[in-house]
Amino acid sequence: MPLALAPSLSWLAPPLCWGCSGPARRAEPLCGHCRGSFQRLAAEPVSLSGVAVWAPVAYAGPARELVRALKFRGARGVADAMAAQIVANAPPDLLPRGALVPVPLHPRRLRSRGYNQAAEIAAAIARRTGLEVAVRLARSGSTATQVGRARAERRVGPAGAIEPVGRAPTRVVLVDDVVTTGATLAACRAALLGAGSAEVRAVVFARTLGR
């Protein structure tokens, strides 16, 4: 999408769809056609790197454009459309299972982006459901702090180790925007289980297929 047509910059023009740059209804990041062309995934969670993960849609087409808009174009409002897909389609017993814990962002990336996209999605799910958001994970700020740590503790390599923060909820639903291998979710789960959580599952907006 050309930058000049980016919806966040077009407050004088009609809202544009993040998927196709066509017209969209106000407060709707996608037009009806793009919304209808999500590649929907199975109702049951899948196991990735040992974590039960559920996503409503595949990481493709308009879903990928929404993720990019939230991550790279400052379109924070897009998180609500992602949350809407999650809340409307999640298995009934999944979301109410515990506290919503956003996957943490590296502090340097948080500074440059200004927000954690996973936390934006978690907050939007909470607004729609009344569930609790608990920020209980952090990434270490510097990869230098990993020097001298045991290999098993270097959970996510150069992106910074994931550490528990405060009291770990007994039951946790991790929240993120995209999952591919599940390695990051597994690192989050290991950190929370180590801090006392009994059950850690995950919801993400989109899952990469075919790997």
Q: Which residues are at the interface with Zn ion (CB under 5 A)?
A: 17, 19-20, 22, 31, 34
Cα separation, 54 vs 39, whole angstroms? 14
State which residue, 54 or 205, has the beta carbon closest to Zn ion. 205
Q: Decide whether 22 or 91 has the Cβ nearer to Zn ion.
A: 22
CB of 15 to Zn ion, least distance (A): 11
Q: Token digits for 185? A: 């979710």
Amino acid at 201: R
Residue 176 Cβ, how far from Zn ion at the closest point, in Å? 24
Least Å from the CB of residue 124 to Zn ion: 21
Q: What is the DSSP string of 4-31?
A: GG-GGG-SSSPPB-TTTSSB--TT-SS-
The residue (of 32 and 194) whose beta carbon lies closer to Zn ion is 32
Residue closer to Zn ion (CB basis): 17 or 187: 17
At its nearest, how many Å lie between Zn ion and the CB of residue 63?
Answer: 12
Amino acid at residue number 202: A
Place of tokens 């045991």: 150
Tokens of 127: 């607004």
Contact in structure between 200 and 194 (CB atoms under 8 Å): no
